[in-house]
């Protein structure tokens, strides 16, 4: 297996991207997902179920089991 790294010119500055993200049609979905994930995380920590939550959220279901 080989890795190829291509150098391409940057047409956007990071600051521009940060400003544009607020107008993205996907922004409301991102915010809603983040709020739901944070609520799930809080509940997992309070219930002492953080390891299973972290494993499930990462997409690794083994040896963890997904939450009910």
Dump pLDDT digits (tens) for 3-46. 888 887 767 677 777 788 888 888 888 888 888 888 888 888 88
Q: How many domains does the chain have?
A: 1
Q: What number of other Cβ atoms are within 10 A of residue 35's Cβ? A: 10
Residue 64 counted as domain residue = yes
Q: What number of other Cβ atoms are within 10 A of residue 21's Cβ? A: 11
Written in H, E and C, the secondary structure of 6-23 is CCCCCCCCHHHHHHHHCC
Helix (H) or strand (E) holding 37: helix 27-46
**Interval 48-57: pLDDT, tens:** 887 777 776 6
Residue 30 counted as domain residue = yes
* Backbone conformation region of residue 48, classed left if phi is above 0, alpha if psi is from -120 to 50, else beta: left
Per the structure, the complete domain to which residue 41 belongs is given by 25-68
Please give the model's pTM, rounded to 2 decimal places. 0.52
């Amino acid at each position: 297996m080989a890795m190829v790294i291509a150098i391409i010119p940057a047409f956007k500055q990071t600051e521009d991207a940060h400003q544009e993200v607020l107008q993205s049609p996907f922004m409301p979905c991102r915010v809603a997902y983040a709020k739901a994930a944070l609520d799930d995380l809080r509940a997992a920590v309070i219930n002492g179920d953080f390891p299973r939550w972290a494993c499930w959220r990462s997409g690794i279901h083994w040896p963890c089991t997904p939450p009910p």
